């Protein structure tokens, strides 16, 4: 090996080819769905030329629209409530490292690590034990619990970014903890609250398994409806629905990323 040649990744065996291959593996199926959603053919998997005809048919699908409305009516309140609960947890718990607080925090975050089917079954069992009927509110409760640990992440990481001296100075100057929260913490957390709410919104919109267990006949969410369609196999209409499920969150994510990137850049510029 020549010494002058600067060191690079390619010196490690297999790293580069596997890395590139795994990105291709991640995107090949997504692009397939995207391309075949513009397929003219009646057959979902045989290419018959470009067309947007199947996109117009899904607007006539009343079951799809109805289930989308159910999902939105859960996801919007769920996002707001989960973000607020998660903020409360992050703010109130502060830097506490006591055993009790650690246990409670672990409990709240448990849905992140437990298999979803266990929490779903547990929630169903609990609701049946206390006699809560499987309607809108039961589904909303279940979604909030699932979203809080995710909503907690951006709030927590934003709080860690701040200089703690700001808060301590305020306390030393005689501000009560409520005043610190209202005048300092909450204003600083506004951007994090937005991403926390957005995260919860996406998770609630996407959830299938928990919803399957705790939804009643009137609360068929979008994923439950789509699962029913998928059980029947591939069709041109499902191609379009799946393509929309790819496009919408990806666009949202990209807009969010560019927004935070420009914000960060303008903040850095201002600080200089």
Partner 1 sequence: MKPRSTTEKEPGIYGPGLVSLPAYITGILLVGLPLIVVIVFSFLQRGEFGSGVIHKFTLDAYRTVFYETDLMGNQSLNFSFLKIILRSILLAFTVTIICLIVGIPTAIWIALQKKTTQRILIVLVTIPFWINVLARTYAWMLLLADGGLFNQFGAPVLLYTSWATFIGLTYAFLPFMVLPIYASAEKLDKNILEAAFDLGASGWRVLIRIVIPMIRFGIFAGIAIVFIPALGAYVQPSLLGGNKSMLIGSLINDQFGESRNWPVGSALAVLLLAMTGVILLATRRRKLEFV
40-59 residues in contact with partner 1 (CB under 8 A) are 43-46
Selected from 70, 159, 192, 240, the binder of partner 1 by CB under 8 A is 159
Please answer whether residues 52 and 173 qualify as being in contact, where contact means their C-beta atoms are separated by less than 8 angstroms: no
Determine the interface stretch with partner 1 among 56-64, 72-80, 171-179, 263-271 (rule: CB under 8 A): 171-179
Using the rule CB under 8 A, is 63 a contact of partner 1? no
Q: Describe the chain by its helix, strand, coil percentages, rounded to 5.
A: 75, 0, 20
Q: How far is the CB of 127 from partner 1 (least distance, A)?
A: 9
Query: Which range touches partner 1 (CB under 8 A), out of 56-64, 72-80, 239-247, 263-271?
Result: 239-247
Binding segment for partner 1 (CB under 8 A), chosen from 54-62, 72-80, 101-109, 264-272, is: 101-109
Site for partner 1 in 6-35 (CB under 8 A): 7-9, 11-16, 18-23, 25-30, 32-33
81: number of Cβ within 10 Å: 19
Cβ atoms within 10 Å of 152's Cβ, excluding its own: 26
Residues 65-84: x where in contact with partner 1 by CB under 8 A, - otherwise, as a string? -------------------x
Stretch that binds partner 1, among 48-56, 61-69, 105-113, 264-272 (CB under 8 A): 105-113
Using CA atoms, how far apart are residues 14 and 21, in angstroms rounded to an integer?
11
Sole binder of partner 1 in the list 53, 69, 117, 137 (CB under 8 A): 117
Closest of 200, 172, 205, 167 to residue 186, by C-alpha: 167
Least distance (Å) between residue 56 CB and partner 1:
20
- Check: CB of residue 68 under 8 Å from CB of residue 136: no
Using the contact rule CB under 8 A, the part of the chain among 50-58, 60-68, 226-234, 263-271 near partner 1 is: 226-234
**Is 39 strand, coil or helix?**
strand
Residue 151's Cβ-count burial label (10 Å; 0-12, 13-18, 19+) is: buried
Rounded Cα–Cα distance for residues 136 and 74 (Å): 8
User: Scanning residues 121 to 140, which ones bind partner 1 (CB under 8 A)?
Assistant: 121-126, 128-129
- To which residue do tokens 């055993």 refer? 99
Q: Which is nearer to partner 1, 8 or 271 (CB)?
A: 8
Q: Is 4 in the site for partner 1 (CB under 8 A)?
A: no
* 221 is a contact residue toward partner 1 (CB under 8 A): no
- What does the alpha-carbon distance between residue 14 and residue 177 come to, in Å, rounded to a whole number? 55
């Amino acid at each position: 090996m020549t010494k002058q040649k600067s060191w690079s990744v390619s010196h490690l065996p297999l790293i580069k080819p596997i890395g590139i291959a795994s990105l291709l593996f991640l995107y090949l199926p997504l692009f397939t769905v995207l391309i075949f959603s513009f397929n003219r053919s009646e057959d979902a998997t045989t290419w018959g030329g470009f067309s947007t005809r199947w996109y117009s048919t899904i607007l006539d699908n009343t079951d799809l629209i109805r289930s989308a409305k159910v999902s939105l009516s859960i996801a919007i309140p769920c996002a707001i409530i989960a973000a607020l609960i998660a903020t409360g947890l992050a703010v109130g718990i502060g830097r506490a490292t006591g055993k009790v607080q650690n246990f409670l925090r672990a409990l709240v975050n448990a849905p992140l690590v437990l298999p979803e089917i266990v929490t779903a079954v547990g929630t169903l069992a609990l609701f049946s034990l206390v006699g809560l009927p499987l309607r809108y509110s039961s589904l909303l409760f279940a979604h909030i619990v699932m979203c809080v640990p995710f909503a907690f992440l951006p709030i927590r990481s934003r709080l860690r970014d701040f200089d703690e001296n700001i808060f301590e100075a305020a306390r030393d100057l005689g501000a009560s903890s409520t005043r610190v929260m209202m005048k300092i913490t909450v204003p600083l957390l506004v951007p994090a609250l937005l991403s926390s709410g957005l995260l919860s919104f996406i998770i609630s919109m996407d959830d299938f398994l928990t919803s399957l267990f705790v939804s009643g006949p009137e609360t068929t969410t979008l994923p439950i409806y789509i699962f029913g369609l998928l059980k029947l196999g591939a069709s041109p209409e499902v191609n379009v629905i799946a393509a929309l499920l790819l496009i919408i969150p990806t666009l949202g994510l990209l807009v969010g990323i560019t927004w935070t990137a420009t914000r960060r850049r303008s903040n850095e510029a201002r600080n200089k």
